[in-house]
Amino acid sequence: MKKIFGLFLLVAALFSFSMVAKATSTIELASDKVELEIGSTYQIEIVNKDDYENITYESSLIDVCIVNEMGLIEAKGIGSSIITITANGEKVYLYVGVYQKTTNINLVEEETTIAVGDTYQINTICDGTETLKYSSSNNDVAIVSDSGLISGVGDGQAEIMISSTSAKTIFIVNVYTKVTEINLEEDTFSLVAGEETTIKITNNILNHQVTYQSNNEMVCTVDQNGNIKAIAAGTAIILVMVDNVINTVKVSVTSAIPAESIQVAATSVTIEVGQSYQIVYEVTPVDTTDAISFSSNDTKIAAVDASGLIEGLSIGQTTITLMAGSVTTILTVNVVAPGNSINILLIVLPIVAIIVVAGVVTTVIIVKRKK
């Protein structure tokens, strides 16, 4: 109804302009166009009225509006009419649009998502024919025309206020930048069955839905957050999809080889406060896929890093646990005051060389220097 009314107003306006163009008049109106609510009135104002006598007024459609001999217009029905004002043989025309007051504005849709550069027409259902007004809460995100046509400008969300003289509502628009490519931090993974990793997208995909799909879930699975889980030996391709853009990730999975034992060159060592000792160890089988880790039972006495380097921190005794898969072994560490132990490297290193070659576990005897 609103669109038909708008078209009718446009035709009427063009007709009015045509009539004005054909008749040159010196009659000057305060306004040549008015919009009235049904039941309201408007007094025609002639700026140079004192220059004229015998002024007459006539409405082209009395079902829309009527006008009395004093130039007072009364709105009667929805539509548009032309008021002809005649004085001293001259004519001038006033366009009158009459609407029904809108007290309720309903939206066909309350929210939409569009890309930067795209448009969306807001559709409303109203109980009147009043011209609605549109405004955007953030013109850096979206702008809106007088007819309710939204244009996406930049990433983000904006509220479109739709109002009449007595009603208003809000329409939500989400705007995003179109994705033209998907950049991945890594596009190839080599995993052991049971391991997990995550696909990371490095370019901006704000406000975009990302879809992941594995072509072989017997080898690996992937969830909608990009988390991969290796299942069994083989190769799989994971599709990474944003809008209509696709990239791929190759995943190679090998079978897990569990650790069977961990041997250390020394099951007990003595170091001074401030000294360090590198744990020498061997995990069997040598091609195990289980990674080894080290942990100290008391980090105030001795600390150990990821490479197995022990550092003496304070006097006392603690243990270092070596773990690979489900296999563990223990190394005892005695930390003494500086000067209370001899340099054991000359004793340990030759023995370590023998152990590495022969694969025999040997306990190193620590000889303390007498005071």
Q: How far apart are the C-alpha atoms of 315 and 271, rounded to whole Å? A: 10
Please say whether the beta carbons of 210 and 223 come within 8 A: no
pLDDT at 236 (0 to 100) = 98
Under 8 Å between Cβ of 237 and 215: yes
Question: Do 102 and 163 contact (CB within 8 A), yes or no?
Answer: no
In the chain, the amino acid numbered 27 is: I
Instruction: Give pLDDT, residue 316.
Output: 96
Q: pLDDT of the chain along its 371 residues, tens only?
A: 444 444 444 445 444 444 443 446 789 999 999 999 999 999 999 999 988 888 999 999 999 999 999 999 999 999 999 999 999 889 999 999 999 888 899 999 999 999 899 999 999 999 888 889 999 999 999 999 999 999 999 989 999 999 998 899 999 999 988 888 999 999 999 999 999 999 999 998 877 889 999 999 999 999 999 999 999 999 999 999 998 899 999 999 999 999 999 999 999 999 999 999 999 999 999 999 899 999 999 999 999 999 999 999 999 999 999 999 999 999 999 999 998 765 444 334 444 443 433 333 334 433 333 33
Check residue 208 and give its pLDDT.
82
Give the predicted TM-score (pTM) of the model: 0.46
Cα Rg of the chain (Å, integer):
43
> Would you call 86 helix, strand, or coil by DSSP?
strand
DSSP helix/strand/coil, 59: strand
Give, for 326, the enclosing helix (H) or strand (E).
none
Do residues 362 and 282 lie in contact, with contact meaning Cβ atoms separated by under 8 Å?
Answer: no
pLDDT the model gives residue 330: 97
Of 323, 322, 265, 259, the C-alpha closest to 285 is 259
pLDDT at 322: 97
C-alpha to C-alpha distances, 42 to 5, 14, 258, nearest whole angstrom: 21, 22, 93
DSSP 24-47: -----BS-SEEEEETT-EEE--BT
The Cα-based distances of 93 to 19, 237, 351 in angstroms read 8, 74, 115
CB atoms closer than 10 angstroms to residue 10: 11
pLDDT at 341: 64
Closest by CA to 28, choosing from 52, 4, 54, is 52
Residue type at position 175: V
DSSP-derived secondary structure letter, 50? G
**Closest alpha carbon to 83 in 41, 113, 53:** 41
Q: 128 with 103: CB under 8 angstroms? A: yes
What would the two tokens of residue 127 be?
């109980």
Confidence at residue 269, expressed as pLDDT on a 0 to 100 scale: 96
Tokens representing 22? Answer: 């054909």
